Amino acid sequence: MVQRPLDMAHEFLAQVIGPEDTTVDATMGNGHDTLFLAQLSGQVHAFDIQEKALVQTQQRLEQSGQHHVQLHLIGHEHLAQYVEEAKAVIFNLGYLPSADKNLVTLPETTLAAVEAACHILLPGGRIAIMVYWGHPGGSEEKDALLEFVQELPQEIYTVLEYRTLNQRNCPPFLIMIEKKVEKHG
Ligand SMILES: C[S@@+](CC[C@H](N)C(=O)[O-])C[C@H]1O[C@@H](n2cnc3c(N)ncnc32)[C@H](O)[C@@H]1O
């Protein structure tokens, strides 16, 4: 069976994460991605603007015995203030399914966060962005994001997209970014 975008996102990141690495979950939510990163990396920073997300994620991590995660109750647009370097970053855009569906990621802060993630990304590091865009405002965020990532300089980044082409109702899709390893000599 064809791999779903979220599974592809995890595999894309897992390929480069080692046990010493620092990783970032830019949209903590219920903590599924935070736990995924915690199981692979040495240090995880996770961000969300909702207290509920921190509570859910904390519970999930405790149940799994993962203690090397720092949860930040602040927008991901500020991530560079907390993380100097990262090997992998994941975004899951949109709203938290179990909470207020009006509390969504927004174009301006999402772009600022993706830009910050690009800056802190180590050479060979990767960013996975799951784009959910069926909700009000989602289409505008998607368009702004696609415009932004398409302009990333190809000398430094490789940018890919993974999506179904024949599915109805705004199917979620994946944007993958890799920072190239500098060539010497
Ligand atoms: C689709 S959910 C994330 C799902 C999550 N990855 C999981 O595994 O359950 C999107 C999350 O982004 C959060 N969010 C919205 N704006 C944000 C911002 N500026 N910074 C960080 N998180 C934000 C929402 O509160 C919501 O929890």
Nearest ligand 1 atom, CA 106: 16
User: What is the C-alpha separation between 1 and 27, in angstroms, rounded?
Assistant: 28
User: What is the C-alpha separation between 122 and 63, in angstroms, rounded?
Assistant: 31
50 in contact with ligand 1, CB cutoff 6 A = yes
Nearest ligand 1 atom, CA 130: 1
33 in contact with ligand 1, CB cutoff 6 A = yes
How close is the Cα of 45 to the center of ligand 1, in Å? 13
* pLDDT tens readout for residues 54-78: 999 999 999 999 888 999 999 999 9
88: β partners: 23, 126
Percentage of the chain with pLDDT > 90? 92
Query: Which single residue is written with the structure tokens 């960013």?
Result: 127
Looking at residue 185, what is its pLDDT? 58
* pLDDT tens readout for residues 102-141: 899 999 999 999 999 999 999 999 999 999 999 999 999 9
105 in contact with ligand 1, CB cutoff 6 A = yes
How close is the Cα of 65 to the center of ligand 1, in Å? 23
Looking at residue 101, what is its pLDDT? 86
Provide the strand spans (E) within the chain.
Answer: 22-25, 43-48, 69-73, 86-92, 121-131, 157-162, 173-179
